[in-house]
Amino acid sequence: MRNRLFLPPGLLVSVVVVAGVTAQDITGGGSLMRDITGGAALIFRAPQNPSVQLTGGGRVKGKKPPPVRKQDSILAKANAARSAPQPRYAEAEQQYRLAAEVAPDDARAFAGLGNVYVDQGRFAEAVDAYQKTLKIKPDYNGAYLPLAFSLARLNRYPEAIDIYKEALKRDPTVPEVYNNLSFAYNHTERYQDAIDASLEAIRLLGDTGGAYKMGFQERNEIRSYAYKNLGNAYNGMKHYDEAATALKKSSEIEPKNASAHFNLGLTLYNEGRYSEAIESYKEVIKLRPNLPQAYFNLGLTYYAIHDKTQALAQYEALKPLDAEMAKQLYDTIKQ
């Protein structure tokens, strides 16, 4: 459900577009109230299934060998259910739980549970499962990134930062981690740290891509998000020239990144560069023609240059999308 906040007329709606989710702030008077960040700038890759070994291990003198064959057979069934063309999450969850009962000290079962939960957006349960994974096996490297991602999605940003830092101790050359760390820093208003993390992600990605080695996302996707996070951090510091430069770069790399265009529009508006802001909002509308906040902000930007005709045209376009927001725009224009 969208969370809307309506403040007195003359204020620009600040919104971040995230695959079906809208996060909203209010800005106006030439400055942002807070950094403009969004889920769209948080890179996610589906975690890999836990490994399985379908042959038993040798007996240790004086100790009963763990039930390797039974445990791995269960894990293999769980992995297959999760990885099916139409994932069977209930079956996968059941099998991973069974694996945890058979061998409660096997971190793989809890990692598998975490994977099933994060796939479904059940982030609180995912956090619990991944934390159990790392308690059993602190060097289970595959748990760090989905754990940090889940914490960020729950707005538990300080904890996410700690986990991303831990991941960097294991491999300090992963641009995805720096990008997501920048996102979390922005949400905790640690803007200089966010800038540093974004710049490191951009450095690792490079212009040629030679340093990029993850292979889980399109390189340009991460580059675009890194520049977007960089622009958001500069916005938080009210360094609007640098923010505009970074957000333009983000939108050039990924022209279909609607949130980058939107945030660029906000930045340009705050600098008083209204004509350029108008073009940014027009790009947003091309990409997301049903996004009411884009029409609202475009209308207010036209109003800022005293073009009431075009401002009223945005009001007409906004009415069928959001009548309450349209009324607010109309009341502002008619002042």
Q: Are residues 113 and 27 in the same domain?
A: no
Domain presence at residue 183: no
Q: Are residues 58 and 147 in the same domain?
A: yes
Q: Model-level pTM greater than 0.85?
A: no
Q: Which residues constitute the domain of residue 105? A: 44-154
Quickly list DSSP for 277-330. Answer: HHHHHHHHHHH-TT-HHHHHHHHHHHHHTT-HHHHHHHHHHHTTT-HHHHHHHH
Interval 153-201: pLDDT, tens: 999 999 999 999 999 999 998 888 999 999 999 999 999 999 999 999 9
Task: Reply yes or no on whether the pLDDT at 26 is more than 60.
Answer: no
pLDDT of residue 153: 93
Domain presence at residue 137: yes
Question: Domain holding 289: CATH number?
Answer: 1.25.40.10
Tokens of residue 275, six digits? 């004509």
- Label residue 39 by pLDDT band (50, 70, 90): very low
Query: What residues form DSSP beta bridges with 22?
Result: 17
Domain presence at residue 2: no
Q: Are residues 327 and 210 in the same domain?
A: yes
Q: Evaluate whether 2 touches 20 at the Cβ level (below 8 Å).
A: no
Structurally, the chain folds into a number of domains equal to 2
Q: Are residues 238 and 324 in the same domain?
A: yes
Q: Are residues 238 and 293 in the same domain?
A: yes
Q: For residue 294, how many other CB atoms are within 10 A of its CB? A: 30
pLDDT of residue 154: 96
Q: For residue 183, how many other CB atoms are within 10 A of its CB? A: 31
Task: Reply yes or no on whether the pLDDT at 35 is more than 50.
Answer: no
User: Over pLDDT 70: what percentage of the chain?
Assistant: 80
User: Over pLDDT 90: what percentage of the chain?
Assistant: 64
Interval 119-131: pLDDT, tens: 999 999 999 999 9
| Alpha-carbon gap, residue 203 to 206, rounded angstroms | 5
What rounded mean pLDDT belongs to the chain? 83
Interval 230-256: pLDDT, tens: 999 999 999 999 999 999 999 998 898
Residue 64 C-beta-side C-alpha neighbours within 13 Å: 3
